[in-house]
């Protein structure tokens, strides 16, 4: 599983002109299921993200986790995180999980974050989404379960 985390002051996702999800201070999480991912992979990724100390403490140091700040998460499916750009100029996406499997894992990931008491909103799997965000910091991290 791959995830791109962006610490945000706010973020939203819109589908067909309708906001389907938003968060205030917290994380925008772009997530991609990969072949071989399963519920254990999803649960481990959610747990790791919930504990990352990437939010500022009162002294301004990155020392607090999402669960400690009470921030929310906007989770958006993003199969293009699996892009293979090693040959030519057109990315290949065969390293992403098949759509039916990917959707299940994406929804499980959002559910696992909720189980960790993180307020979660989502985009719509497979839709053409418009994502807006105010990156805080900026702080952007890449997580990959293949290379933890």
Q: How far apart are CA 85 and CA 29, in angstroms?
A: 22
Q: How do residues 59-71 score in pLDDT, each as one tens digit? A: 999 999 999 999 9
In the chain, how many domains are there? 1
Q: Is residue 119 part of a domain?
A: yes
- Tokens 């925008």 locate to 28
Active-site residue flag, 80 = yes
Whether 23 is a known active-site residue: answer: no
In the predicted structure, residue 112 carries a pLDDT above the cut 60: yes
Provide the domain limits for residue 58.
6-141
Q: Encoding tokens for residue 106? A: 């994406």
Q: Is 108 annotated in the active site?
A: no
Question: What is this structure's pTM?
Answer: 0.94
Catalytic residue, chosen from 79, 108, 109, 122, is 79
* C-alpha span between 73 and 119 (Å, rounded): 6
* CATH number, residue 24: 3.50.80.10
Residue 147, domain member (yes or no): no
| 42 domain-assigned | yes
Q: Is 148 part of a structural domain of the chain?
A: no
Which residue of the set 6, 14, 23, 78 is catalytic?
78
């Amino acid at each position: 599983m791959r995830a791109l985390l962006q610490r945000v002051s706010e973020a939203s996702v819109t589908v067909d002109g309708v906001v389907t999800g938003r968060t205030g201070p917290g994380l925008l999480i772009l997530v991609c299921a990969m072949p071989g991912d399963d519920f254990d992979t999803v649960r481990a990724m959610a747990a790791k993200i919930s504990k990352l100390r990437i939010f500022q403490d009162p002294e301004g140091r990155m020392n607090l986790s999402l669960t400690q700040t009470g921030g929310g998460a906007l989770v958006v499916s993003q199969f293009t995180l699996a892009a293979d750009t090693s040959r030519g100029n057109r990315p290949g996406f065969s390293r992403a999980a098949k759509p039916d499997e990917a959707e299940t894992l994406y929804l499980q990931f959002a559910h696992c974050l909720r189980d960790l008491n993180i307020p979660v909103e989502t985009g719509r799997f497979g839709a053409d989404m418009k994502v807006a965000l105010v990156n805080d910091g900026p702080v952007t991290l890449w997580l990959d379960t293949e290379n933890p």
